[in-house]
Amino acid sequence: MIRVLTVGTGTITTAFCRAVDTVAGIRVHAVRSRDADRSRLLADSVGAVPAPTDLERALALDDIDAVYVASPNRLHAEHVRLAIERGKHVLVEKPGVTDAPAWADLVAQADRAGVVLMEAVRSAYDPGTRELERLLPLAGRLRRASFRFEKVSSRYPAVLRGESSSAFDPDGGGALLDLGVYAVNTVIGLFGEPRGVAGLRVPVAGGVDGAGIALLDYGDVVVDVSVSKITTSFASSTIQGEDATLEIDRVVAPRSITVRPVDGAARTVHEIPPPAHLLAPEVARFVELVGGADPGPDQRRTGATLRTLDRIRAAWGDDPDRA
């Protein structure tokens, strides 16, 4: 049984705890937050115990095998490093860290320590993504793809009033790292890393990306990725081939994929049943990795995703030193 300490008490942590209840071989044992009252409330609601507010003391607990890190993005690297130093397996909420070099360093550290490091990006493990991969050959020779995740944030009105929010913090926040990571991770899984990257963004709230678009060059295939936390799109994502177009209802967790042949033949709609819990597939994969499966493919996909996110931000002009 894998006994987990959670770090962070946001909505995603509660969802993770509920998902753990649906997966064998793992349970949430302790909950840690900087706020003792929030730790106690979450612990009571999920049947866990509150851990010390001091992270190093929490990580020193003997009855903890693994740590789920869901603190603000800018703190991920530090919290993952501390957990690895304590000999704990780590499942870190997306984005694993905010840049590719930091991820490479942590992967090397985890390898030396003999522990598992995995990014919790649910689109990579969702059954809808697996079905998309299965249906991809029906499109024929691929030429174009468009992936979008554009949903106005519930926190945006507060930002417009001048209030601060970690979701719009220039240090680790913004549409690309919060939403674009799902789309880019799926693109990496389907097409690999792009040859070239271009793009534009819409800055808000001190310069953070509220929305943006990236063009990814694959030679004979062009992919665009659109992200936004300040507007909402109801359009599907699409993959266009010379034989058919695949329409995907949503990139993060596809539940319906329509295949439309270009020759006018009847379309086919593929419905994908949801898992027991949206986060259950990623939790199940983490259990597999802790049980001895090779984390290399998962870690390399995260690394490729982060490298591409770095290149998109460079194309946007966020950091001219990025490759």
Which tens digits make up the pLDDT trace of 70-100? Answer: 999 999 999 999 999 999 999 999 999 999 9
- CA 32/CA 197 separation, integer angstroms: 39
Residue 322 included in any domain: no
The stretch 190-206 carries a mean pLDDT of 96
Judgement on whether residues 99 and 174 belong to the same structural domain of the protein? no
Which structural domain range is residue 236 located in? 124-274
Judgement on whether residues 80 and 214 belong to the same structural domain of the protein? no
Q: At what angle do helices 181-191 and 127-135 cross, to 10 degrees?
A: 40
Q: Among 83, 104, 120, where does a domain finish?
A: 120
Residue 12 included in any domain: yes
User: Residue 221 sits in a domain of what CATH number?
Assistant: 3.30.360.10
Q: Among 88, 120, 152, where does a domain finish?
A: 120
Judgement on whether residues 159 and 217 belong to the same structural domain of the protein? yes
pTM above 0.85, yes or no: yes
- CA 165/CA 230 separation, integer angstroms: 13
* Chain mean position to CA 184: 9
Residue 71 included in any domain: yes
Judgement on whether residues 71 and 115 belong to the same structural domain of the protein? yes
Judgement on whether residues 110 and 159 belong to the same structural domain of the protein? no
Contact assessment for residue 234 and residue 240, using Cβ atoms and an 8 Å cutoff: no
Residue 169 included in any domain: yes
Residue 319 included in any domain: no
Judgement on whether residues 85 and 183 belong to the same structural domain of the protein? no
Contacts of 155 (CB under 8 A, 6+ apart): 165, 167, 168
Residue 131 included in any domain: yes
Judgement on whether residues 152 and 87 belong to the same structural domain of the protein? no
Nearest CA among 156, 272, 244, 132 for reference residue 204 = 156
Judgement on whether residues 8 and 81 belong to the same structural domain of the protein? yes
| 319: pLDDT strictly greater than 70 | no
Judgement on whether residues 36 and 101 belong to the same structural domain of the protein? yes
Judgement on whether residues 265 and 144 belong to the same structural domain of the protein? yes
In the chain, the amino acid numbered 35 is D
Give me the number of domains the chain comprises: 2
User: Residue 110 sits in a domain of what CATH number?
Assistant: 3.40.50.720
Judgement on whether residues 81 and 144 belong to the same structural domain of the protein? no
Which pLDDT band holds residue 205 (cuts at 50, 70, 90)? confident
Q: Between the CA of residue 265 and those of 29, 145, 245, 261, 268, what are the distances in Å?
A: 54, 21, 12, 6, 9
Q: Is 94 tagged catalytic? A: yes
In the chain, the amino acid numbered 41 is L
Judgement on whether residues 218 and 97 belong to the same structural domain of the protein? no
Tokens encoding 28? 């949430």
Q: Is 283 exposed, middle or buried (0-12, 13-18, 19+ CB in 10 A)?
A: buried
Residue 313 included in any domain: no
Q: Among 101, 120, 139, where does a domain finish?
A: 120
- CA 67/CA 51 separation, integer angstroms: 12
Laid out side by side, the sheet with 196-204 consists of: 196-204, 208-217, 222-228, 142-150, 237-241, 244-248, 256-261, 268-271
Q: Which of 88, 94, 151, 229 is catalytic?
A: 94
Reported as a single tens digit per residue, the pLDDT across 213-259 is: 999 999 999 999 999 999 999 999 999 999 999 999 999 999 999 99
Residue 300 included in any domain: no
Reported as a single tens digit per residue, the pLDDT across 37-55 is: 999 999 999 999 999 999 9
| 206: pLDDT strictly greater than 90 | no
